[in-house]
Structure 1
Amino acid sequence: MNLLAAFDALLEEGSVAGAAARLHVTAPAMSRSLGRIRRTTGDQILVRTGRTMTPTPYAIAVREQVHELLHQVRGVLAPSRELDPATLERTFTLRWHDSLVALSGPALLAAVRAEAPGVRLRFVAESSVDTPELRRGEVDLEANANQPGAPDIRAEKVGESRLVIVVRQGHPLTRGGTVTADRYAAAEHVTVSRRGNLGNALDDALARLGLTRRVVASAPTEAAALQFARGSDLLVSVPEATTRSTVADLGLVVLPLPLELPLAPVYLSWHQRYDTDHAHAWLRGLARTALTLRGAS
């Protein structure tokens, strides 16, 4: 079992140090495990190429099988008794988009406190780059608009919402009738991007109409972007659902977006190691309800 877990971690992380950190063991111990795996399989598994390690063809071929075997073993060894949330003592770490924390976090926290007073929730900010904490077990649940592509990450769409325009009261777009694509493009914009991107799918939609817009700033969070819009003639385009708990309090105005775009999705994501974890499944159910009821349009 330990060797299989080490094999899985090495294939996922692609390095001895990363696998050691994920399984909370020392790098020398993981190096010894890699040696045992090499002797058992007769394959190098990972070979150094410059500063990185590359999986061998054999390792690539068996990666999914190793994942599935480890998942089956954990399922067999997992306790089959029913979970009693009232007696549960555990801390869960959740990395959600900031607007979803504001929108659905209070409902989730209230539900958790009502059923499991011994459970604590740690909401942590999203990083500006993709990070492996979900795969390492350092983050239990993610919620945002991104559908993970990794085979070991489960994802479930729990909501979706159309995009709308948010502006200050008295903004020029609130006067003069219908907001057309031309009027929308002529305004000055602020984007929401944890990576600092100044462009997104809205620019592609405008380009199809022969239009361009002027983006003068990007904000790392939706809350910051709304503050920019509140104090200027900048407009921000965000999912309608995430504005419900903040727009009225900030004295902002919501206008329809004059572009044909797909609905903005909300995905709940977790690592497959938690599929048979009763406490994790219980939390996923509460999170799903909170996000579906408050995040969907």
Structure 2
Amino acid sequence: MQLDLNLLTALDALLEEGSVAGAAARLHVTAPAMSRSLGRIRRTTGDQILVRTGRTMTPTPYAIAVRQQVHELLHQVEGVLAPSREIDLATLERTFTLRWHDSLIALSGPALLAAVRGQAPGVRLRFVAETSGDTPELRRGEVDLEANSNRPGAPDIRAEHVGESSLVIVVRRGHPLTRVRTLTAKRYADAEHINVSRRGNLGNALDTALAGLGVSRRVVATVPTEAAALEFARGSDLLVSVPEATARPAVADTGLAVLPLPLELPLAPVYLSWHQRYDTDHAHAWLRGLARTALARCEAP
């Protein structure tokens, strides 16, 4: 049986107003038109819905039993066919999953969480670690927002450039290189290094740049996160080269110092990525705006 959703609207008005004339006025139709709708509803449901008692009409037991259900169904249908263009942040309850590079979580995560809690206390953020390779969680809807240096190439993934940062060297306080007047590329390469790579790579763009100068560095270890690499540097003479955005909060702690990188390298970009299904999701767009502001802190001063 094919159902006419207009009958649901008419039934809701009839049950709310308790009369054909009242329902007609509410929906801005004529009384005969509403009377015809009531006739169709009676034939569809097999119930009189409203029966005359003197000069008024009284709902049947069936009509009383389904009144609230009809109202809720109509509200759901309207939400599907005519979604709201506004969101009530004060009552919004939702959990967003964010897969960000660990340095971006450390630098921008607290600011994002504070902004979210200040506007929408019912929203929760679920930060998850990056994986060792490209994964389809964005496409499957398991991750809402990604933030890292990689620009996705898939046509259904949106990517927005939100910041960039230059690389610097982080060493322990008192490291021999902190006492040299000019740090050259050769002095930098001759030191021992620890590399940051979630895939376990021992080399990166730094090695390509050094090779162009005729020198090479010795990477003695690789770790998956910058936080771990900084701990290695804190207790040894190892050098770790990280984005300046990561170094700034790290050296606020005792035991670390920042040195300029003696190489000309392109700035490290930061991209915010999401699946196109969320383009018109207003809660998601709100979160993207807050994330964009928080990630702007990644840019070097």
- TM-score interval (norm. to shorter): 0.7 to 0.9
Report the CA distance between 1:81 and its aligned residue.
2.4
Q: Paired residue for 1:295, among 295, 298, 301?
A: 298
Residue in 2 aligned with 1:97? 101
The TM-score with structure 1 as length reference comes to: 0.73
Distance 2:119 2:171 in 1: 40
Query: For 1:41-91, what per-residue CA distance to the aligned partner results, in whole angstroms no more than 9, with x for missing partners?
Result: xxxxxxxxxxxxxxxxxxxxxxxxxxxxxxxxxxx9572421121111100
Distance 1:277 1:221 in 2: 32
**Rg comparison, structure with higher value:** 2
Report the CA distance between 1:286 and its aligned residue.
0.2
Residue in 1 aligned with 2:223? 219
Distance 2:251 2:137 in 1: 32
C-alpha contact 1:158 1:267 (8 A) present in aligned 2: yes
Amino acid paired to 2:121: P
Report SS of the residue matched to 1:87.
coil
Distance 2:186 2:133 in 1: 34
Q: Does the alignment pair 1:228 with 2:232?
A: yes
Query: For 1:180-232, what per-residue CA distance to the aligned partner results, in whole angstroms no more than 9, with x for missing partners?
Result: 00100100001110000000000000000001000000010000000011111
Amino acid paired to 1:266: V
Residue in 1 aligned with 2:92? 88
The TM-score with structure 2 as length reference comes to: 0.72
Residue in 2 aligned with 1:157? 161
Distance 2:262 2:166 in 1: 11
C-alpha contact 1:94 1:122 (8 A) present in aligned 2: yes
Amino acid paired to 2:183: V
Query: After the TM superposition, which parts of structure 1 deviate over 4 Å for at least 4 consecutive aligned residues?
Result: none
Identity %: 84
Unaligned residue ranges in structure 1 (runs of 5+): 1-75
Q: Paired residue for 1:171, among 169, 175, 189?
A: 175
Pairwise CA RMSD: 1.2
Report SS of the residue matched to 1:245.
helix
Structure 1 residues 180 and 78, CA gap change in structure 2 (3 angstroms): farther
Structure 1 residues 77 and 137, CA gap change in structure 2 (3 angstroms): farther
- Of 242-251 and 157-166, deviating more is 242-251
Number of residue pairs matched?
Answer: 221
Report SS of the residue matched to 1:149.
coil
- Counterpart mapping for 1:180-219 below 5 A: 180-219=184-223
Amino acid paired to 2:255: G
Amino acid paired to 1:163: L
Unaligned residue ranges in structure 2 (runs of 5+): 1-79
Report SS of the residue matched to 2:104.
helix
C-alpha contact 1:230 1:250 (8 A) present in aligned 2: no
Distance 1:193 1:78 in 2: 46
